[in-house]
A and B are shown apart, each in its own frame.
Chain A
């Protein structure tokens, strides 16, 4: 492909590619996101390719393997357009029948259709799947139409059109004004107005400036950025190129966590293609602009989500943050003015330019505009990636999109924002997804992780879990975080292990507030949030642990006992075989018993019992 040297040539190519894809052939889309890959969608793809060659359907069917569609729980997912038929849990053994019956004869195959758990009815089309219906897909939905390894797919859906618009007459200031008018705020967690960052970096003194894409998604329970960078890497590149134009810089970096090898590969391939087509390099689209991007792999350190630590890591150093009295937009990477935005923030930029600030600002609330991709996980029926307009209630996300609790259990909380966020109780589920509202309530939207917790989740244990995580991940540079988080963890560990004293609860609060006020960086400042928010909304659980030596959820091993329900046990022997410690005795078909001296309460036997006969209390 020769370089595209003008915006007019791009328009011609766009029209041609769009028309080529509009030739009436059936489109078979297979999701190749991480969820579907884990359930072996590659085998389905291989089988389709083989069958297409052998049964004469080549040319009548276009196969496209895309990034994540979001509904990971149902993978591997296949959609057949234009009729929009949605098949789930597709295996290689189904392929021949799909080609013969659905593709050739236009029939649907009942067993591959999704069943709506609310009505128990089969759903035929993707558009009718309730999981997708309450969503506002604008960014994530692009994944559906793009093979991440094909720049032509991206151009066919209007990709790089935003860049063309910018380069054919918009001044850098006008680009920043457009972003300002859209109300775009950083999607990485801080929620800082993007345009303000860009304007400050543009105004900063110095010839050499940098833009960075933060794809070091370290929050446990979050995979939005993975979904976007793996599924639609060109949108991220286009956003960065537009940003570079607005700020006035020639070099960009994508800092990707090493645990995402596919994201690294897709980003590298997208960069190679963008250079070949003339979107990166010298004289971009004949405008005279020069800009290039490099991928750097992160080393696996949560603190590198903090901008100054990430920049130190890019310089090849230990990822320790520094005080921010001098902003990174003035002195960032190699002490040059640097703009750092998260994957989702960059990927939103092309559409804002293309469709206008007004379109973007038309979605959301007063202070939180547009949409947010959330990683919906935990004790909820439908897990996966979802995209909702800001202002959508947590209840809609959990109940309508998520389908409510698993195994008939009651949902009691959501944890939002990862280790920097907090837990919100079910009583607050009418709150909207919004940067400021969640912050006021002691949590935050963060990067968009939303972990659902039910009656079997112990909130004190959740606080301990996050403090342990943060203790591991604290870089150790500042005292409040290094020692303060240690002490917080010590107190919470005392409580979950049955040594808790009533006065420790007050101490936990006081110490938490001190750490929040005095730590050096965002990691430390927000580290007490999980403990403080669970203490605020679930004081009765702390109370039960401290005063009654009881864990209501049956999680904290020091406070629970395992026994076998004599009425329910059928003596099948499954638990006996599963116990690594030989703590369960009993003859076949007779009542089994647990020896409390040998039992370590490891939690294995309840997962093996089909009769729910293991009692934990």
Chain B
């Protein structure tokens, strides 16, 4: 068991009702909930394996796959929808060569669309790696993503 998982489980063992809290912390620490984590949590909290999977699958907060280095969150709430969120999705997908939400092959970007982030006055809203970008347009989004791409390709060259 990893150290962080031990810390997360501290004081919560054998308490099935702590399942969601534990999964939240794992998601936050690791960026996703791995198969191993699911098995450990099942044993330590005393929740059947199937129930842990069911809960991890039911709630949007949990991802069972690792996410990319950069996460682009596109808000599709009502306010963002009427102020033009769809062109932003098109822009992000076409620029990163994705057909649908998900992670690029090089694992640099994950695109996720969410229902509402509760900052509707700033619509349409995009979050890149936790930073809010209000009143987005496709052109602004393109520039933003290209900047990250350029920085990444420089870094890649540096490491080679």
Q: Which residues of A contact B (CB under 8 A)?
A: 34-35, 37-39, 72-73, 217-223, 226, 257-260, 296-302, 313-319, 375-379, 383-385, 415, 418, 449, 451, 453, 457, 462, 465-466, 469, 472-473, 475, 578, 580-581, 600, 602-604, 607-608
Report the separation of the CA atoms of residues A383 and B121 in the bound assembly, to the nearest whole angstrom: 5
CB of B68 within 8 Å of the partner chain: no
CB of B81 within 8 Å of the partner chain: yes
CB of B134 within 8 Å of the partner chain: yes
A222 touches B116 (CB 8 A): yes
**CB within 8 A of B54: which of A218, A296, A318, A469?**
A318
Report the separation of the CA atoms of residues A365 and B83 in the bound assembly, to the nearest whole angstrom: 33
A39 touches B116 (CB 8 A): no
With a CB–CB cut-off of 8 A, which chain A residues contact B8?
none
Contact string against A for B residues 51-80, beta-carbon threshold 8 Å, 1 for contact and 0 otherwise = 100110011111000000000000011110
A-B contact pairs, 7 of them (CB 8 A): A39-B122, A219-B116, A220-B115, A221-B120, A226-B118, A415-B78, A607-B138
**CB within 8 A of B62: which of A34, A37, A299, A462?**
A299
A580 touches B60 (CB 8 A): no
With a CB–CB cut-off of 8 A, which chain A residues contact B16?
316
**CB within 8 A of A318: which of B55, B87, B95, B123?**
B55
**CB within 8 A of A223: which of B114, B118, B137?**
B118
With a CB–CB cut-off of 8 A, which chain A residues contact B105?
none
B17 touches A315 (CB 8 A): yes
With a CB–CB cut-off of 8 A, which chain B residues contact A608?
137-139
**CB within 8 A of B84: which of A260, A302, A603?**
A603
How many of B's residues come within 8 Å of A, CB to CB?
49
With a CB–CB cut-off of 8 A, which chain A residues contact B24?
258, 297, 299
A580 touches B116 (CB 8 A): no
CB of B29 within 8 Å of the partner chain: no
Report the separation of the CA atoms of residues A37 and B132 in the bound assembly, to the nearest whole angstrom: 8
The secondary structure that dominates the B interface is helix
Contact string against A for B residues 1-26, beta-carbon threshold 8 Å, 1 for contact and 0 otherwise = 00000000000000011111101100
**CB within 8 A of B78: which of A378, A472, A578?**
A378
A581 touches B59 (CB 8 A): no
B91 touches A580 (CB 8 A): yes
With a CB–CB cut-off of 8 A, which chain B residues contact A226?
118
In the A-B complex, the 7 residue pairs with the smallest Cβ-Cβ separation, listed nearest first, are A299-B59, A72-B121, A300-B60, A220-B77, A580-B94, A220-B116, A603-B87
**Closest residue of A by beta carbon distance from B114:** A259
- Taking the nearest CB of chain B, how far is it from the CB of A105, in angstroms? 33
Chain B CB within 10 Å, residue with most, of A301, A314, A581, A602: A602
With a CB–CB cut-off of 8 A, which chain B residues contact A453?
82
With a CB–CB cut-off of 8 A, which chain B residues contact A384?
121
Contact string against A for B residues 83-110, beta-carbon threshold 8 Å, 1 for contact and 0 otherwise = 1101100110011000000000000000
Chain B CB within 10 Å, residue with most, of A257, A259, A298: A259
**CB within 8 A of A319: which of B59, B91, B118?**
B59
B21 touches A297 (CB 8 A): yes
B87 touches A602 (CB 8 A): yes
Task: Known A-B contacts: A297-B24, A301-B58. Give 9 more (CB < 8 A).
Answer: A38-B122, A39-B122, A259-B118, A300-B61, A316-B21, A317-B55, A377-B79, A451-B79, A602-B91
Report the separation of the CA atoms of residues A449 and B24 in the bound assembly, to the nearest whole angstrom: 28
**CB within 8 A of A607: which of B23, B76, B82, B137?**
B137
B47 touches A316 (CB 8 A): yes
**Closest residue of B by beta carbon distance from A606:** B87
With a CB–CB cut-off of 8 A, which chain B residues contact A580?
90-91, 94-95
Chain A CB within 10 Å, residue with most, of B54, B77, B132: B77
With a CB–CB cut-off of 8 A, which chain B residues contact A581?
94
Report the separation of the CA atoms of residues A39 and B51 in the bound assembly, to the nearest whole angstrom: 42
- Taking the nearest CB of chain A, how far is it from the CB of B114, in angstroms? 8
